[in-house]
Structure 1
Amino acid sequence: MNYKNYKPSGIEWIGEIPEHWEISKLKYSVKHIVSGGTPSTSIVDYWDNEKGIPWVSISDISKSNGILIQTEKKITLKAINDYNLEIIPKGTILVSIFASLGKMTLLNISAVVNQAILGLIANDSILIVSFIRYYFSFMENYISYYSSENTQENLNLTKIKNLPVILPPLSEQILIANFLDDKTSKIDSLIEKKKKLIELYKEERTAVINHYVLGQHLLSIDNSQLTIDNYPLSINNYQLPKHWEVKKLKYVLSIKSGDGIKSEEIDFEGTYPVYGGNGIMGYSENFNSDKLDIIIGRVGAKCGNVRLVDGKKWISDNALVAKVFEGFDHKFISILLESINLNSLANQNAQPLITGTLVREKVVCVPQKIEEQQQIVEYIEAETKRIDEKIKRTEKEIELLQEYRTVLISEVVTGKIKVIDNV
């Protein structure tokens, strides 16, 4: 339902508002706007993560999911006094003015903020906190209009104070906030259910791959029960096919490090992809392989990741390149390597890495015939395609729900939709 009469707001991105609503500036609509700062990190007496006062950073806002209940760091009263910082009360709206411009959260604890954040302390006789939350959620998409034109968008206190604010009567603010609390909580609940559904689909996808590529489930083959105790497998107990072979990877493939490449030879516009420890790291005009290769990340937190790549490319010395021997299917072996978690072979140093020697000694179980390997690959590809389509469809549903949530807030806080008291 719409309101009977509307008037121009005078602001393009707000459009018309109900005739009895007002447009004001933020500085006239809140009680107080609080800025913050960052005490010197080199002075130990300024920081106390056990007994100190919560200190809010942009990172804390980003992780808060709309309501901030804790911070990563805490500061002392000495830091607050020395830097003339103000402790902001629970119930304050926090808005980022640097970096994640316009990102907003509700402070659910008493805290101090850094210089990239402002605290908006509400004047409940003019503008209630719950309405401000939804208004800033709507305005986040437009707040960049008021930012400084430099490399990184930011706002200063003066610009924040002069931001336009829509002022419905207090009774309508309460109605609007209650209505949006109800609607958005239902939407958020539905989104969370769909996210959990995606996780279940991903688990199903992994289970399908493991069941078939690790021999835990066969496509009409006789099985025999074997365990770790009587067969040298590096995986948990499961039904092992009689006709599959248990062997070290050195009898399945050759493996070596890639080749070094100078940083000046890598850019973003080269002809051939350059593969490093975690996929493509840039492009080059040179290549060191034009074959179908299995590339394994050698260095970094994600070392052990596996990619099957065909065509011309440069495989750097941050990766291992595996060549599959005759009698083995590239796709099957690639899927198998993904399933056995090569990352578990990494050392525990500051810079994790795996070696070709460790990979070669890994024990696996493979079908004797390449035809069966290929049959398993075809089945896995069909099943994972089916699951991936369900994931994609569910992700689209989440996207549409998020869009509906955004539009609903926008339409309600600007008065395009009238909220009726059903009590």
Structure 2
Amino acid sequence: MINAAYPKYESYRDSGVEWVGAIPASWNVRRGKWLFKKMDRSVRPEDEIVTCFRDGVVTLRVKRRTEGFTNALKEHGYQGIRKGDLVIHAMDAFAGAVGVSDSDGKSTPVYSACVPRVEGTVNPHFYAYYMRHIALSGLLVAMAKGIRERSTDFRFGDFADLALAAPPIEEQTAIVAFLDGKCAAIDEAVRIKEEQIRLLAERRQILIQQAVTRGLNPDAPMKDSGIDWIGQIPAHWEVKKVKHFGRNRSGDGITNSQLEDDGTYEVWGGNGLMGYSDQYNVDGDYIVIGRVGAYCGNIRLAQGKRWISDNALILRISGRVSSRYLARVLQAADLNRLNESNAQPLITGGKVSNLSVPYPPLDEQNSIVAHIASGFDKIANAIVIKQSQITALREYKTSLINAAVTGKIKVL
């Protein structure tokens, strides 16, 4: 599809390197060491940490995120990084951690900071695109393992010996300009679709909130519920506490050794399926509520035999309410508000039991559940379409980069 949309070079020749394959006749093949040299700079007092991320962005860590990193206390072996350096992450290059730094700073010695061996003959941005093509196509892993069994390290010595396609500098620069423009447009299209998905997810939450608090009859007389998160409700509805409909308790701990690939019963935690077991601790009609950690407040309706872990609460339904309706009400209630911990999120059973919820007649509960399900189906279909469009855009971007940096298309 891409090759048909863009012109090709007038002629091609065999590069003489198996994995490089055919290249435009005007291109050369050169080893990394004749294109780049590795810099070993000292660190300056004002230098901040530069991080090479897997998406090819190389920037000051504080510009992007600071959590999730292990900070070295003494920074042994740290080196200076300069704006414009081609930076290769020895441990993560196989996953795409190769790019051009947009900042001056310092980095761990795991990085290789490379500059053109001869100024004006190499565009580092071209080789950032090119090396990420090699990495994400799996070639880098294969080559690294061939050099160093069972290791995916890609050090400067490996890069130095690597045979690389070498277009004339004018073509390198033209390819970079072409890809920068195309990739920016594709990334913006992806961002817009991701925002549309976020808005659809918000719409899903609004659909639940409106249905379980205001009902389906827009002309129904309303009254104040007396509860902040609920607001007004139809005048003939009641407000009751969750404990009126059933009792809840924490699930039971289970170890990894108790999980079995071929177990009879599903094991659920705060976010659903964790594995399988030959034991169960619940049976019947119940709601599973994530009670701790990242899935705190997550709601899942369940029936039948399962093992529910101690990462979740088990709310048994007494039969005086539709379990499907109550599950939707709990989703609308945003149980994260009940978090009692300043550290790891935590919801207690007592807080859930004493939560006030709107309580319409049973026939209205069932109508509300059906209304939400119908709306969810439409929203879910829209989200699936957006997600497939994002996947197609990302695949197109990858294919476009690969075609441009390998000379399969001509962008001049």
Query: Could you tell me how far 1:367 is from its partner in structure 2?
Result: 0.9
Q: Is the 8 A contact 1:55 1:74 kept in 2?
A: no
Q: Is the 8 A contact 1:21 1:166 kept in 2?
A: yes
Q: Distance in 2 between matches of 1:254 and 1:74?
A: 43
Is 1:87 matched up with 2:87?
no
SS of the residue 1:411 aligns to: helix
Query: Could you tell me how far 1:419 is from its partner in structure 2?
Result: 1.6
Q: Distance in 2 between matches of 1:262 and 1:280?
A: 14
Q: Is the 8 A contact 2:230 2:358 kept in 1?
A: no
Q: Is the 8 A contact 2:56 2:98 kept in 1?
A: no
SS of the residue 1:382 aligns to: helix
CA 1:84/1:356 → structure 2, altered by over 3 Å: closer, same or farther? closer
Q: Distance in 1 between matches of 2:356 and 2:150?
A: 53
Q: Distance in 2 between matches of 1:351 and 1:333?
A: 26
Select which of 63, 66, 76 maps to 2:57: 66
Q: Distance in 2 between matches of 1:260 and 1:188?
A: 44
SS of the residue 2:409 aligns to: coil
Structure 2 unaligned runs (5+)? Answer: 1-6
Give the RMSD, CA atoms, in angstroms: 2.8
Q: Is the 8 A contact 1:221 1:241 kept in 2?
A: no
1:117 counterpart residue number? 111
Q: Distance in 2 between matches of 1:88 and 1:376?
A: 59
- Identical counterparts, % of pairs: 31
More displaced 10-residue stretch of structure 1: 153-162 or 370-379: 153-162
SS of the residue 1:295 aligns to: strand
Query: Could you tell me how far 1:22 is from its partner in structure 2?
Result: 0.5
Q: Which amino acid aligns with 2:120?
A: S
Query: Could you tell me how far 1:240 is from its partner in structure 2?
Result: 1.3
Q: Which amino acid aligns with 2:410?
A: K
CA 1:269/1:333 → structure 2, altered by over 3 Å: closer, same or farther? same
Q: Is the 8 A contact 2:50 2:58 kept in 1?
A: no
1:143 counterpart residue number? 140
Q: Is the 8 A contact 1:53 1:74 kept in 2?
A: no
Q: Which amino acid aligns with 1:113?
A: S
2:10 counterpart residue number? 4
Select which of 360, 367, 388 maps to 1:367: 360
Q: Distance in 2 between matches of 1:150 and 1:347?
A: 50
1:394 counterpart residue number? 386
2:258 counterpart residue number? 265
SS of the residue 1:24 aligns to: strand
SS of the residue 2:48 aligns to: strand
**CA offsets, 1:271-294, max 9 Å, x none?**
322223443333211112232321
Query: Could you tell me how far 1:268 is from its partner in structure 2?
Result: 4.3
CA 1:267/1:23 → structure 2, altered by over 3 Å: closer, same or farther? same
**CA offsets, 1:179-207, max 9 Å, x none?**
11221111111111111111111111111
Q: Distance in 1 between matches of 2:123 and 2:92?
A: 27
**CA offsets, 1:387-414, max 9 Å, x none?**
1111110111111111111111111111
Q: Which amino acid aligns with 2:10?
A: K
SS of the residue 1:253 aligns to: coil
Select which of 33, 40, 44 maps to 2:38: 33
1:41 counterpart residue number? none
Q: Distance in 1 between matches of 2:408 and 2:77?
A: 43
Select which of 16, 20, 32 maps to 2:26: 20
Is 1:132 matched up with 2:161?
no
CA 1:359/1:85 → structure 2, altered by over 3 Å: closer, same or farther? closer
2:233 counterpart residue number? 240
**CA offsets, 1:18-44, max 9 Å, x none?**
1120111111111x224799xxxxxxx
CA 1:126/1:361 → structure 2, altered by over 3 Å: closer, same or farther? same
More displaced 10-residue stretch of structure 1: 143-152 or 90-99: 143-152
TM-score in terms of structure 1 length: 0.85
Q: Which amino acid aligns with 1:210?
A: Q
Q: Distance in 2 between matches of 1:100 and 1:334?
A: 45
1:289 counterpart residue number? 282
1:385 counterpart residue number? 377
1:224 counterpart residue number? 222
Q: Distance in 1 between matches of 2:410 and 2:296?
A: 55
Q: Distance in 1 between matches of 2:77 and 2:287?
A: 59
1:358 counterpart residue number? 351
CA 1:339/1:52 → structure 2, altered by over 3 Å: closer, same or farther? farther
Q: Is the 8 A contact 1:306 1:337 kept in 2?
A: yes
SS of the residue 2:229 aligns to: coil
TM-score in terms of structure 2 length: 0.87
CA 1:188/1:259 → structure 2, altered by over 3 Å: closer, same or farther? closer
1:336 counterpart residue number? 329
Select which of 83, 93, 99 maps to 1:105: 99
Q: Which amino acid aligns with 2:363?
A: E
CA 1:55/1:364 → structure 2, altered by over 3 Å: closer, same or farther? same
Q: Is the 8 A contact 1:332 1:373 kept in 2?
A: yes
Q: Is the 8 A contact 1:26 1:165 kept in 2?
A: yes
Q: Which amino acid aligns with 1:340?
A: A
CA 1:86/1:220 → structure 2, altered by over 3 Å: closer, same or farther? closer
Q: Distance in 2 between matches of 1:416 and 1:202?
A: 40
2:406 counterpart residue number? 414
Structure 1 unaligned runs (5+)? Answer: 38-45
Q: Is the 8 A contact 1:302 1:343 kept in 2?
A: no
Q: Is the 8 A contact 2:78 2:108 kept in 1?
A: no
Query: Could you tell me how far 1:343 is from its partner in structure 2?
Result: 2.1
